[in-house]
Structures are given as C-alpha cells and as structure tokens.
Structure 1
Amino acid sequence: MKDNIIAIKSYNFALSIVFLSKKLVENKEYVLSRQILKSGTSIGANVEGAIGGISKRDFRAKMSISYKEARETHYWLRLLKDSKYITTEKFNALENELSSVLKKIFKIIKSSKEKLIHH
C-alpha cells in the first residue's frame, strides 16, 4: 500500500498534540488539555475514516470534518500561546505542522469536490 501523506502528517501532528496535552496535565491544566487533545487527535482520526469511506461523498464529508477540527485546534493553540501556557516557539512549531496539514486537507477537499461535480 502506498504511503498516504495526509494520514502520516495528521498522525504525526496528533502525536505532537498528545505530548503537549501530557505536559498541560502535568501543570494541572485539565480543561485546555482535554480540548486540544480532542480536536488535535480528531484530525487524523477523521482522515483515517475518510480513507476507509464507503463513497466519494463520505470521503469528502470526513475530510471536511478533519478540516473543521484542524481549524478548532488552531484556535486552542492560539489560546494556549496567548494565555502563556505554551511558548511562542512551541506555538510556531505546532502551527507550522498544523498549517501543512490544513493546506493538504483543503487541497484534497477541493479536488474531491471537483471530481464529484464532473462525475
């Protein structure tokens, strides 16, 4: 099976979020930890769901959910940075990783929409 770049990128990002969440829990920041963990790991979970989708519409719907979860994760990352729970350096590293995932998901959604229109 060929490597799926978005599956790999979203999984690696989820790992980064798990490590961040663990650090937040160590600092007893449970609410923000849970929020970022939920949205940040949901991106890859929905990508995997899309890959196993039963139809092209199902694929697109799951990828759209991944995109929405990525946007939500970006919100939580900004909040963590601005409230000083993470450093600007940590934010920049995670934001760069997330930006790469977002761009790839957006291209996939756009491409799949065009394919649905033409078929």
Structure 2
Amino acid sequence: MKKGNVLENKSFAFSIRIVKLYTYLCNEKKEYCMSKQLLRSGTSIGANIAESTQAESDLDFIHKLAIAQKECSESMYWLRLLEATDYLNSRESESLLADCTELIKLLTSIIKTKKKQMVEKNNH
C-alpha cells in the first residue's frame, strides 16, 4: 500500500473495520448471513481499488473504481439492514456509513477527473 494514497489507505482501514465487525456479529450476535454479505462487499472495495492501480487502460481504471463504488453502496445497504434488524445500533452503524459515504465521494471525484482527462486527451 502506498504511503500517500488516501483512497487506498482509507479503503484498507475500512476493510479492517468490516472484518472486525464481521467477527463481532458472528461471535457476539450469532448473525451469519447479512454479516457475510457485508464482509464480501466491504472488503471488495479496497480490493478493487488495489486492482485499479494495475489497470491496463484508463477505461479499465474507471471500471475498477466504478465496481468499488457499487460495493460501497451495497455495504451501506447491509449496514442499514443490520441496524434496522437490531444487530447494530445507530452509533455502531453511523461511523461505518460515514466512511462509506466518504469513499463514494472520493471514488466519484477520481472517476470524474479521469473521464475529464480522457476527453481532454482525445480533443488534442
């Protein structure tokens, strides 16, 4: 992981939090289905961001980040569902939801910037 890559660092930290939450939900709350879905989507964010650093093209780069964006949205769904079904309280879910929102904003900004650069490159 690059020392200065904010997106990679934040997504990695988010993945760690998701793994710890998964362990808590399984061990303490005996919840296995929704938490497994959250584990998959929540850790996939960072994995797709890591893959994007080795993208074969600008379009591949955008595609990987767009997948990460979708995984963020899915993670938010599972977090809200876990809260709505009383496996998490609002305090537990709010911080993770805020992290997801921040990741989506970063991903959106990077995707928009890359698309703009591609248009400018094609116009020259």
- The alignment's TM-score, normalised by the length of structure 1, stands at 0.95
Moved more, 26-35 or 39-48: 26-35
Match of 1:32 among 7, 31, 34: 34
- 1:41 deviates by 0.3
Q: What is the number of residues matched between the two proteins?
A: 119
- Indicate the residue corresponding to 2:22 in structure 1: 21
Tell me, in whole angstroms, the C-alpha distance in 2 between the residues paired with 1:109 and 1:80: 30
Instruction: Please give the secondary structure, in 1, of the residue aligned with 2:94.
Output: helix
Unaligned regions of 5+ residues in structure 2, if any?
none
Tell me, in whole angstroms, the C-alpha distance in 1 between the residues paired with 2:71 and 2:5: 19
Aligned residue type for 1:55: S
Tell me, in whole angstroms, the C-alpha distance in 1 between the residues paired with 2:12 and 2:77: 19
- Is 2:87 the partner of 1:85? yes
Instruction: Please give the secondary structure, in 1, of the residue aligned with 2:106.
Output: helix
Unaligned regions of 5+ residues in structure 1, if any?
none
- Indicate the residue corresponding to 1:10 in structure 2: 11
Q: Which runs of 4+ in 1 moved over 6 A?
A: none
Tell me, in whole angstroms, the C-alpha distance in 1 between the residues paired with 2:114 and 2:7: 14
- The alignment's TM-score, normalised by the length of structure 2, stands at 0.91
Tell me, in whole angstroms, the C-alpha distance in 2 between the residues paired with 1:30 and 1:84: 14
- 1:2 deviates by 5.4
Q: How many percent of aligned residue pairs carry the same amino acid?
A: 37
